[in-house]
Structure 1
Amino acid sequence: MDPIMLDLPSQLATERLFLRAPLLQGDGPIVNEAIRESYDELRMWLPFAQTIPAVEETEINLRKAHIKFLERESFRFLIFHKESNHFIGTASIQGIDWDIPKGEIGYWINTKYSGNGYMTEAVRELADLGMSHLQFNRMEIRCESENVKSRSIPEKLGFSLEGILRNEDLSADGKRLTDTCIYAITG
């Protein structure tokens, strides 16, 4: 089956959160505000956060993510708290290989919401979407070995640490070599 024919929900719900695909317009300001609020932490780990983007750049990025969602190339979800409707962060299924099939989960959270288990809850939902609904044979989470907060999520969710690739990538700022942890679940 051509992946474009997949019936995929544009919104998911967990106990405390709802995750929805980016809309064609209007999400840029809230996502940009979260990037600004979390800049010091995000820039340590994420290449996209080396400079604070303009709101328009964030809006363009989200519109492109929406197109990729429709084309079934990647599935980015914006995470909101159910009760307050506050934007918390993003989580995505990306790096999809439909021949295997498999995908990789990526995520970031607004710093003021970290430490509450929200991202673990969101990633659990995406792992379930990938393994159950999309029938992936493999889901990965890759993160820098020194990013303890990011590593704790796959560890809590029962992903296996399959290996650490030494000197495999550059740090987010491109100034030093880093080690990459590869976590996975398989079906």
Structure 2
Amino acid sequence: MFTGIVETVGKVEEINHQGANVDYAISSKISNELKIDQSVSHNGVCLTVTKVLGGIHWVTAIDETLKKSNIGNAQIGDLLNLERCMKADGRFDGHIVQGHIDSTAILRSVKDENGSWLMIFELEKEGLVVEKGSICINGTSLTCFNVDKKIFSVAIIPYTFEYTNFNQLAVGSVVNIEFDIIGKYIHLILNRK
């Protein structure tokens, strides 16, 4: 389980295709601290560390992950938001995040608000977005507003802009979306026949 509070960004150093799977080598300031078999959020996708060596860690994305997230679009040199699993005695500074991508969205607009950035996203299909509710974008816990079917906005503060890959996004960028887990369960319960 994660909280959507990004620890650092990691740089894609190498990409290797292994059948339907893709192995990624990622360098970051936390890579040497990781352990094999540890779960780490990469742009909101929970991936298992398979190797750690010399400031680089490796993870494998299976075909299902590649189809349902933006990880399959990653290129050498791209930056990915990284977060290790939450410690049992840790604080919930964000919200409950599983690392299971529900959808992708396209960045439709970026507006500099003189100290923050207003970003407007369009979901690939309607989802569980609630006005003033939590949403996880590329592994980052944010509050959404101006929700209208597939469109919603988020405000990015300078700290988040500087220390995540939001500063790399441009209009047309595809991002990973995880809807709030509580909302997903409520939706499931209310829609059971």
TM range (shorter): under 0.3
TM-score scaled by length of structure 1: 0.28
Higher relative contact order (CA 8 A, sep 6+): 2
Structure having the larger proportion of residues in strand: 2
Structure having the larger proportion of residues in helix: 1
